[in-house]
Each structure stands twice: as C-alpha cells, then as structure tokens.
Amino acid sequence: MRAAPTILHLDMDAFYASVEQASKPSLRGKAVVVGGLGPRGVVATASYEARVFGVHSAMPTAQARRRAPNAAYVTPRFALYRSVSEQVMALLRELSPLVEPLSLDEAFVDLEAGGTAWDEPSARAAGVRLRADIRAVTGLTGSVGLAASKMLAKIASERAKPDGLCLIQPGTERALLGPMPVRTLPGVGPATGDHLRRAGITTVDELAEAGEDELVRLLGKAHGHALYAMALARDDRPVVAEREAKSVSVEDTYDVDIHDRPRIGLEVRRLADRCVQRLRGAGLSGRTIVLKVRRYDFSTLTRSETLRGPTDDPTVVREAAARLLESVDTTGGVRLLGVGVTGLADYTQEDLFAQAAGALAAEAPESPEEAVPEPLPAAPAPPPERQWRPGQDVRHAEHGPGWVQGSGLGRVTVRFETPEDSAPGRVRTFWVDDPDLAPADPLPLVARAAGGPEEGT
C-alpha cells in the first residue's frame, strides 16, 4: 500500500446515455435508455433520469419499457463512443504514462509514475483538473476516485457518483470498508456473496473477523487469500498500461431465430467484414479465425481455423468463416452469430493470397481436355429492404443531418438537430425508401458549460 492517494480511478457518468444526450438536444435532461431494442434486447446504459424509474444496465429492454414507457430508447453508436473515449484516454495520458483502460468509459491512472501527484493535495488537484478538462473537451462528466490502491480508488469513484470526486485518506481504509457489504470487494459476485452469506458473513468486517484459514476453507486457497487481504484493505496490484488485446471479435443477437441457411451465411460474411474493419482500425492482423454460433436451445458452439500466417484481408477471413459454418448444424435456427480473430500480430502475411493462388495453380488441370468449364455467375441478389434504427445518424439532401426517432408501416421519422443546437430540432416523416435520406456518420460532440456538485472527501 502507498503512503499517498496517488492512484486515480475515472468512471464516466452513464457514458453511452450521456453521449446520446450531448449529441441530441431533444434528449438533454430526459430519460434515455441505450441498448438492444428487439424482444431479446438488453439495456447497455440508462441515463440518471431513467434510473429514477428503476432502469439499469443488463436489464431486459422489455422490462425497462414497462418501468419507463416514456423514455427515449436508442441503439448504441459504438463508433462515436470510441471516438469520445479516445479523447478522454488522451487526457489521462497527459497525467501519466501508466494508464490502464478497463473499458471505453473507465480507467486507472498511476499519478505518481507521471510525477503528477506525490501527496494528498497534489492528488486532489490532479483529480479536479482532470474533471474540468473532460468537461471542457467533451462536455461530459466523470467521477474520480483517489486512493492508495486500485481497489479503494474504484470504491471511491463509486462513492463520488455522479459527477464528483472522492479521496480516501491513507489510514482510514479499514474503518471505511468495515461496514460495507462483501459484494463491494472485487471478485465477490452473486455466487460468492451467497456462499458467504450462508456462512454468516455479510460485511467486510465479518470477512476480516472470519480469518484467513476460514476463508480458504470456504472459498479455496487463491480466492480465500486474496479476499482476506482485501478485507484488511491490502491491495498491491500495480496499474498496468495498455493491456494487450488477445482477440478482436463482433457478434449479433437476433430478435427472431434465423432458420434460412443462405441468410445465416450472409450474416456470417457481414460479421467477418465488420471484424476485419475493427482489426484494421486497431492496426492488427490475426492468424486464427473463430466462428461462434448460439442455437435456438441456447447451446453455444465455437469453431476455429488457423491460417499459415496473420492476415487482415476481408476475403480470407470471410472464406475461413464460411468454411467453419459448413461444420455447424443450424437446424432449428440460431439466435446469435459471431466472428472473431485471435493470434494477433502487428503485421500481415503479405503473400497469403499468393500462396493460396499457387496452391490452386498446382492443382489445376494441365490440358484443355481436363479443364472444367467455369459456372455461370449467380444472379444478383435483390437489394435488401432499408432498415432504420432508433438513434441512427442520417442526412437528408434538403434538411441536413438528423437522427431516426422511429420507423414502421413503411415510414421513418427523423428529428433534424445537431450537437451544436441549443434547442430540440424539427421532426419530419419520410417513406423508408426516400432517395434523399441516407445513413450518415455521427457528428462530433460540442463541449457545453455545465455545473456539478462539490467534490466529496
């Protein structure tokens, strides 16, 4: 444990929902729910206005609609969230080279390693400055926790929510943790919490009183030792900068099980293309292609194929995923499909296609008599029906940029407004196939002045 609270934990407030509110003037101050909107959709994030009604992340969207029927429900826009996250992470790296991102909206920072803080006043000053910089650059708010360890810094940021700062002074940790429920500690999930409760242990104080031997008996050697140390506020885990990605993957859950085999093949190819886009965006390539299929009965199958070298070529990934699909029985329908790439590298096997072409040439017939006539090209598939998702960015040739509020019965309703607007924009309705309406990239956020609560201690 350190002698000063120089580990900082940042947790952006209701991040996805806050980005939606910042980019859509008509949603500011309103209940907003971001997540899957189909029958099997799940809430990713709810704004604080929606949480008043009991809506929270991981809740089925159908249940959220019953609790907050008048909230705005929109689909996620991960490209925009990643862009804003990169701005926030850049601000953290100005404080220290040791930044450990946990997700798009959460990270640890070792202030001591950056020379930014060495005692309580300098740590508090760094936290105050960070919150102001985040607001100035993105217009969003984040909660900051400061402590002498990662565990306590994360607990502090939770106590600071929303839009606050909490510093846990070294020497006060045991008194602070004691009355807290055991679920407060990292690694204590619902199952472990229930197991401890059955043993009569519900608070951190009771964990410490139980003793290390008893916790080892109840939970096993590794978990018991770790939990006892945390109950005594001991946590020496370092901040680890830029944890290396082990895989890149994308997946989709479908509102209705897909039974049509050609449709399943099309979905796999589409997922492969999205996976490659993400792979290239990270400047990586991969050697092993993985296909994930969750069937109608919730059974999940994975298949993988390892190439001769790493690639980021969409054709290679598409074809490998298609070969893997051939070995999967989809009778009865599928509810989820995913394509991933592992065995990551920062280079590409440039001659992968050439090697494949050479292998094909070696197998080709040498004489015209042995040649097989080429098949006729397949008839082009009919253009897919245009789909408009609530929250989706669009642009109209006459009315400019906007976003989809809803669609149905062959029509789509669009609200035309931008992040710069101070008031809600106008609403127009179009036919879903209106040639003047097209999908668009998200517009960047605009920082807006806003007040926040006083920082806590």
Active-site residue numbers? 106
C-alpha 204/C-alpha 230 separation (Å) is: 9
Q: Quick check: helix, strand or coil at residue 7?
A: strand
Given a contact cutoff of 8 angstroms between Cβ atoms, the answer to whether 71 and 32 are in contact is yes
Please state, in angstroms and rounded to a whole number, the distance separating the CA atoms of residues 134 and 162.
14
Angle formed at CA 340 by CA 257 and CA 247, multiple of 5 degrees: 140
Q: Is the dihedral of CA 107, 108, 111, 114 positive or negative?
A: negative
Q: 78-95 and 15-23 are packed helices; what angle lies between their axes, rounded to 10 degrees? A: 110
Closest CA to 286 of 294, 276, 296: 276
> What are the angstrom distances between the C-alpha of 273 and each of 16, 180, 251, 288, 300?
25, 47, 12, 15, 22
- Partners of 9 in the beta sheet? 108, 145
Residue with tokens 């020496």: 236
Q: Is 350 exposed, middle or buried (0-12, 13-18, 19+ CB in 10 A)?
A: exposed
Structure tokens belonging to residue 157: 């940021």
Q: What is the token pair recorded at 187?
A: 């690694």
Helix (H) or strand (E) holding 20: helix 15-23
How many other C-beta atoms lie within 10 A of the C-beta of residue 224? 19
User: Helices then strands (H, E): number in the chain?
Assistant: 14, 17
